[in-house]
Structure 1
Amino acid sequence: MAGLAMNKDAATSALPLLALPLLALLAACNMGADGNASSGESEQGELTGARIGAPFTLTNQNGKPTRWDEYKGQYRLVYFGYTYCPDVCPVDLQRIMQGFAKFEKQRPALAAKVQPMLISVDPQRDTPAVLKTYVAAFHPRLIGLTGTKEQIARVAKDFAVIFNAEGKPGATDYLVSHSRTPYLFDGDGKPVALVPVDDPGTPDVDEGTPDKVLAFLDKWIK
């Protein structure tokens, strides 16, 4: 793990425990540098058919209830992380949202069909007020979602995300290890593919540049 966030291969290796179809798992483990299936032959994303995602109600950065189904008809770009993450989360979010901003400039009508969201895996510290300041630093359309520990645990399970707070019970200064799985869902809320992020296991290759995120969005957003 880098910065206590698991890379994509580590995350996908745990997905069979959460009943992901084997075919989707194999495709995810053969990702190309652009974050898509390496064969490049299929127009289906590597997560097509995977059982990831479910309806939820969480609290957004303005303190208002937000339902997953509010975004029916929109693509949903979902990142699980937390605001106190020292390195991986802010870098991933910055690059993803920079790529999204480029897509927004080049394809504004299509970009309007995408809702980016950060779902916190640290509800103890990530209050709506904390999230509001944080998400505003990346893009005005990025929303931050939090909830009770029980709500976040349920959502994480439904979205095949593993996380664990590391530190002494009751401590306020701790890190949260979590699977690094930025997802793209289609307008029906079905998973499409993993958004490209840099893999720390390949130091000579940068898989998560904003331009690669742009290419990813250009490929999948219709």
Structure 2
Amino acid sequence: MNPGAMTYLFRRLAPVALALATGLSLAACQQQSSAEAPPLEGAAIGGPFTLVDQHSKQVTWDSFKGRWRIVYFGYTFCPDACPLDVQAMMRGFSSFEKAHAARAAKVQPIFITIDPARDTPEVVGQWTAAFGPRLLGLTGSPQQVDKAAKAFASYYRKGEETPGGYLMDHSRIAYLMDPDGKPIAMLPIDKGPQEVAAELAKWVK
């Protein structure tokens, strides 16, 4: 992740980190025992959007109301980061599903492109299918995609044109959202499928 992406995410998540640190300190001083709070509890992440799936069918954020959601922003022409991240995310989800089928049935993994110019519904559908039937791919107009990305504090920027095309610089975060659409945690996709499965098992009930 480049410095621009890191700065953007720091500005969005710093207040949450401060609140968590303060809350943990108070809990320690008062020596109270309580359930662990979700890492992203209270963060301004998530919000309404309107996009389309691989069948060009309109999908909104409210379409998933009542379901847990995993949300990752990337693009299908990504040469390395996105395939690795989504592979770890979906392998972790698959392991969680095998161990906790009923709980996994309440979860919808979602891939949202940040490159709508090339990622048509058909392209997104073909790409996400390679990672399993449970992964839903979404795209839309540049304005629709931008609105969704901003709602989820997802940084992205188009790179320079080259003979081989252009790349997209972007943040690499898989958000776990609860059935009400509130942020719960960032899945540890950088640590591999087992850690992702463990994090899902920790929060999804």
Normalised TM-score (structure 1): 0.80
Stretches of structure 2 that go unaligned for 5 or more consecutive residues are 22-33
What is the CA deviation profile of residues 32-51 of structure 1, one whole-angstrom value per residue up to 9, with x for unaligned ones? xxxxxxxxx86222211001
Query: Structure 1's 11 and 44: CA in aligned 2 closer, same or farther, altered over 3 A?
Result: farther
- Alignment partners' CA distance in 2, 1:26 and 1:167: 39
After TM superposition, the structure 1 = structure 2 runs for residues 1-40 of structure 1, keeping only pairs within 5 Å, are 1=1, 6=2, 11=5, 13-15=7-9, 17-18=11-12, 20=13, 22-24=15-17
- For the pair shown, the structure with the greater C-alpha radius of gyration is 2
Runs of 4+ aligned structure 1 residues displaced above 6 Å come to none
**Residue in structure 2 matched with residue 106 of structure 1 by the alignment:** 99
Match of 1:78, SS state, is strand
CA deviation after TM superposition for structure 1 residue 132, in Å: 1.0
**Residue in structure 2 matched with residue 201 of structure 1 by the alignment:** none
- Aligned residues: CA RMSD: 2.3
After TM superposition, the structure 1 = structure 2 runs for residues 68-79 of structure 1, keeping only pairs within 5 Å, are 68-79=61-72
CA deviation after TM superposition for structure 1 residue 26, in Å: 7.6
Q: How many pairs are equivalent?
A: 193
Flag the structure with higher helix content: 2
- Counterpart among 120, 131, 145 of residue 124 in structure 2: 131
Query: Structure 1's 183 and 12: CA in aligned 2 closer, same or farther, altered over 3 A?
Result: farther
- Alignment partners' CA distance in 1, 2:55 and 2:139: 11
Letter of the structure 2 residue corresponding to residue 58 of structure 1: L
Stretches of structure 1 that go unaligned for 5 or more consecutive residues are 29-40, 199-206
The answer on 1:55 being equivalent to 2:38 is no
- Alignment partners' CA distance in 1, 2:204 and 2:18: 22
- Give the conservation status (yes or no) of the 8 Å contact 1:16–1:25: no
CA deviation after TM superposition for structure 1 residue 62, in Å: 1.5
**Residue in structure 2 matched with residue 180 of structure 1 by the alignment:** 172
Normalised TM-score (structure 2): 0.86
What is the CA deviation profile of residues 75-98 of structure 1, one whole-angstrom value per residue up to 9, with x for unaligned ones? 000000000000010011011101
- Alignment partners' CA distance in 2, 1:121 and 1:17: 20
Letter of the structure 1 residue corresponding to residue 56 of structure 2: G
- Alignment partners' CA distance in 1, 2:189 and 2:19: 18
- Counterpart among 193, 198, 202 of residue 210 in structure 1: 193
